[in-house]
C-alpha cells in the first residue's frame, strides 16, 4: 500500500527546497526549467541528482545534450523562476532574456548573478514513475556575487532565507 498522490504532494509542499533554474545547451538546443528537486549525492566524485518530469517537452533536449547547469536562485530571481516554470506565454528565448547568461565548462547557460552555478555532465539517467533523474558529475562551480541569501519554495510559496547579521549581533 502506498500513500495517495494528494497526500504525498501536500507533504512535499512542507519540505522546503532551494529554487533553481536548470539549463542545458548543445545539439538539441538551449532550454531550461525551474526545479526544486535537486540534491547532492556524493562529493567524490562531486555528483548531483536533478529530477525532471518525463512529460516535459524539454526532457529529450537534456538527455541529448548530456550537460546541465544548476543555477541556484537568490530572492531577487522570483520573476526569472516564474518564467522558467512556464508561467505566462513566454517562449524559451524570452525566458532567457529575463537574465544575463554566460557559460562555464560544459557550455550550459550559467546565470551571471546566481547565488551559485553548478555545471556538470549527465552521466546516467534513471526513470522512475513520472520523472527522469539525471545523475550529474560536476565539472565546475561558480559562487555568485553579493548577498548570502537564497530563495526557497515552501508551502507552495517563495520565501527568502539567508544570513542576517542583525539577528546574529543581537544574540552575541
Q: Is the pLDDT of residue 105 over 70?
A: yes
- Secondary-structure breakdown of the chain: helix, strand, coil percentages, each rounded to the nearest 5: 20, 45, 35
H-helix or E-strand spanning residue 72: strand 67-72
Question: Which residues is 54 bridged to in the sheet?
Answer: none
Tell me the pTM: 0.88
Q: Which residues contact 88 (CB under 8 A, 6 or more apart)?
A: 82
Domain 12-171 superfamily per CATH: Electron Transport, Fmn-binding Protein; Chain A (2.30.110.10)
Provide mean pLDDT across the span 60-71: 98
Q: Which residue has the higher pLDDT, 148 or 23?
A: 23
**Residue ranges of the domains in the chain?**
12-171
How much is the pLDDT for 150?
Answer: 85
How much is the pLDDT for 157?
Answer: 76
Q: Is the pLDDT of residue 166 over 90?
A: no
How much is the pLDDT for 56?
Answer: 94
- pLDDT tens digits along 69-98: 999 999 999 999 999 998 876 799 999 999
Q: Which residue has the higher pLDDT, 95 or 148?
A: 95
How much is the pLDDT for 146?
Answer: 66
Amino acid at each position: 500500500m502506498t500513500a495517495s498522490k494528494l497526500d504525498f504532494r501536500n507533504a512535499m509542499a512542507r519540505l522546503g527546497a532551494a529554487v533553481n533554474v536548470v539549463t542545458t545547451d548543445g545539439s538539441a538546443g538551449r532550454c531550461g526549467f525551474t526545479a526544486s528537486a535537486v540534491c547532492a549525492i556524493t562529493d567524490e566524485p562531486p555528483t548531483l541528482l536533478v529530477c525532471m518530469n518525463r512529460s516535459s517537452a524539454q526532457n529529450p533536449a537534456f538527455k541529448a545534450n548530456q550537460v546541465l547547469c544548476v543555477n541556484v536562485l537568490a530572492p531577487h530571481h522570483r520573476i526569472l523562476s516564474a518564467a522558467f516554470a512556464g508561467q505566462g506565454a513566454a517562449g524559451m528565448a524570452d525566458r532567457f532574456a529575463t537574465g544575463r547568461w554566460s557559460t562555464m565548462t560544459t557550455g550550459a547557460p550559467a546565470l551571471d548573478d546566481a547565488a551559485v552555478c553548478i555545471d556538470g555532465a549527465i552521466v546516467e539517467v534513471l526513470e522512475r514513475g513520472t520523472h527522469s533523474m539525471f545523475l550529474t558529475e560536476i565539472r565546475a562551480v561558480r559562487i555568485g556575487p553579493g548577498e548570502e541569501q537564497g530563495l526557497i519554495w515552501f508551502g507552495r510559496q517563495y520565501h527568502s532565507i539567508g544570513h542576517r547579521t542583525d539577528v546574529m549581533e543581537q544574540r552575541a
